[in-house]
Amino acid sequence: MTLKVLFLLVALGAVVGAIGMLSSPNPVHSALFLVWTLFCVAAVYLLLGAEFLAIVQIIVYAGAIMVLFLFIIMLLNLRRDEFGDDPLPRQWGWGLILSGLLAVILISVAGAALTLRFAGDPLALTPIPELARMLFTKYLLAVEIASLILLIAMVGVVVLAKRPKEGV
């Protein structure tokens, strides 16, 4: 029972954070709202017993990725959004309709999962050594590829962010 209440609170926090991100006109505020949501998601992981992912979520997402976002926002010195007239006035209406439909469909699918229950002890924590063994055996190739992608991304960022030479 306690778990359910805790989950509802955390879920509410995540949704509120997401709505706050969408509704705030200042990107810095948006980013901070998103950090809050990500923390809530980490809490959801924790409630599901995936404590390793919860920690990674906080370190990588809230820690690294969002810092990068904030860093860029500050680098570009962005304040409130003032973009002038919206060239796509009907976008709001369509967006709400479509995402509403999306939510309805997905939630109805989720409702179909009613019969499915969590197997085993809901409070049991993920065996981290097991996770590590899988990463370096079954998913070894994927790990290598992921590391390669990170390397490429790093090089790519340097190339993209570098100021082009004059006259080139």
> Residues 23 to 52: which contact another protein by CB under 8 A?
27, 30-31, 34, 37-38, 41, 44-45, 47-50, 52
User: Cα 57 from chain centroid?
Assistant: 9
Q: Does 120 bind another protein (CB under 8 A)?
A: yes
Among 109, 141, 165, 166, binds another protein (CB under 8 A): 109
Considering the rule CB under 8 A, would residue 62 count as an interface residue with another protein? Answer: no
CB of residue 167 to another protein, shortest distance in Å: 16
Task: Candidates 86, 165, 166, 168: give the one binding another protein (CB under 8 A).
Answer: 86
Q: Which residues contact 28 (CB under 8 A, 6 or more apart)?
A: 70, 73, 74, 78
Contact indicator for 14, 44 with CB cutoff of 8 Å? yes
> How many of the other CB atoms lie within 10 Å of CB of 140?
11
By CB under 8 A, tell whether 100 contacts another protein: yes
Among 39, 43, 114, 168, binds another protein (CB under 8 A): 114
The DSSP element (H or E) to which 92 belongs, if any, is helix 91-112
